Chains A and B, each alone.
Chain A
Amino acid sequence: MRSWWVGSLAAAVMIAMLFFAGSMRVRAENDGVNNHNDQAAATAADVRIDNFSFAPQTLTVAAGTTITWTNRDDIPHSVVSTDGVFKSKVRDTDEKFSYTFAKAGVYPYYCSIHPKMTGKVVVQ
């Protein structure tokens, strides 16, 4: 196969990829654990959009909770339910989007501009 990466960049990229893939996984798991604990009585909750990710990535709330997403990035993002339940307009820096979750269930969502950005709301 005549395929090759060119230059020293190749090595740097490969190392970075391995390293980054590892650290991503750890961070996602931590997000899930942290948020599970302190959501009992909330009627309002926040998700921060920062560094091309939703934090917390998984947010567990009681039914009736209004969640507000705020974009803290220099780049616009969106908040779009994977199952078509809710869909924000494109949110530029510091713009917000809110949605009230009336019913229990699991609500996966993503940024339609950067679909690698995914998150989940669990309503109990």
Chain B
Amino acid sequence: MSDIRQDVIRQKVQDLNDDGVDRRGFLKCMAWAGAGLVWTMSGGVPVSRAIATGGGHARDGSGGGDFSFVQISDSHMGFNKPANPDVAATLQVAVDKINGLPNQPDFLLHTGDISHLSRAEQFDTVDQILKGAKAKDVFFVPGEHDVLDDNGKSYLERYGKDARRGGWYSFDHKGVHFIGLVNVVDLKAGGLGSLGGEQLKWMEKDVKHRKHSTPIVIFAHIPLWSVYPEWGWGTEDSAQALACVKKFGSVTVLNGHIHQIMQKVEGNVTFHTAMSTAFPQPQPGKSDSPGPMKVPAEQLRSLLGITQVNTIRGKHALAVVDSTLG
């Protein structure tokens, strides 16, 4: 077993060195406020790359994919503290970046914390800014900041019209099955994110009759893997959700919440968390709390670019790209 592990690590290191990407240039490109990720479906396997100006950073020749979509997260509209006094501006930067992509995404995913305080005017502002995106479809899942006080009533009225009662839903796009989950309501004292029995039952049915070869993309706000439970960065019943998709050859789990990129690959499942478009949060345990990281304005960009790692695996040359700021 340790031999396999060694090989994997060696392979990864090699890919890091030989991928033809200028590391410094790549990191620089990542360092802008309001970052996002582009996912390109290539042979049914999602390939991610950082959004940067123009082309030149895609490792899969991204035009070759069947389609792409963009994930953005944690826009926290209404937040106005020193960590970022103008979160509308950085969300606008994100939209501009998306619109500048040579390979336009078919749609956007927003993985929650759209607003900071669930207020109508905050949702309005985000909707307004996202209307400026060339990609017209945006799929949302709520973050805990979107369901304050009213158990998500106003969120569901706005974003949940086509969803199940609890706000979860699925859809198909060009052969890929997308599942949007809600893990930010009815949280128990001392606990983590939670999906709940009703949603898990629905999910089991939702995937039951699908072909094993169907690529699955699951998106939800709080990570569906144990990133750092001490800060609540995990979902208590995520194992049950993942059990539902065990039979599938390709499962990609996209989350937000932690305002930094982290990635884990486990069997057929790739877990990935996105950066925020609003403010960075500290690396796990590197601060007293997971609150917004206050940094000098000129450093905001570089800190949004933290914690990226680069891996290539499988015969599809799946390149799940992450990069780390030094």
Binding site for B on A (CB under 8 A): 1-9, 12-13, 16-17, 19-21, 24, 51-53, 73-76, 78, 80, 82, 89-90, 92-93, 108-110, 112-116, 118
Contacts and interface: CB of A to CB of B under 8 A. Distances in A.
A2 B283 CA distance: 25
B1 interface: yes
A13 B288 CA distance: 14
A116 B232 contact: yes
Contact of A2 (B9, B191, B267, B322): B267
B73 interface: no
B189 A115 contact: yes
Contact of B83 (A51, A74, A115): A74
A82 to B, nearest CB: 5
Contact of B285 (A17, A52, A76): A17
A33 B116 CA distance: 36
Contacts of B81: 74, 93
Contacts of B309: 6-7, 9
Given A90-B117, A116-B231, A5 B324 contact: no
B117 A92 contact: yes
A109 B189 CA distance: 7
Contact of B190 (A3, A90, A118): A118
Nearest to B287: A51
Given A3-B266, A9-B309, A19-B285, 12 more contacts: A3-B264, A3-B267, A4-B5, A5-B264, A8-B324, A9-B283, A12-B283, A16-B284, A16-B286, A115-B191, A115-B192, A116-B190
B311 to A, nearest CB: 5
B232 A114 contact: yes
B148 A90 contact: yes
The 6 closest A-B pairs by CB, nearest first: A16-B285, A7-B309, A110-B189, A20-B285, A51-B289, A52-B289
Contacts of B144: 113-114
B291 A74 contact: yes
B263 interface: yes
Interface of B: 1, 4-5, 8-9, 12, 81-83, 116-118, 144-145, 148-149, 187-192, 228-232, 262-267, 283-286, 288-292, 294, 307, 309-311, 322, 324
Given A75-B292, A90-B117, A90-B148, A4 B265 contact: yes
Contacts of A4: 5, 8-9, 264-265
A8 B322 CA distance: 12
B192 A74 contact: no
A73 B294 CA distance: 12
A1 to B, nearest CB: 7
A6 B149 contact: no
7 contacts: A4-B9, A20-B230, A51-B288, A90-B117, A112-B187, A116-B191, A116-B230
A70 to B, nearest CB: 16
B187 A17 contact: no
Contacts of A108: 189
Contacts of A75: 291-292
B192 A16 contact: no
A13 B1 CA distance: 23
Contacts of A80: 189
A82 B8 contact: no
Contacts of B307: 9
Contact of B189 (A19, A74, A93, A118): A118
A6 B265 contact: yes
Nearest to B118: A90
A73 B289 contact: yes
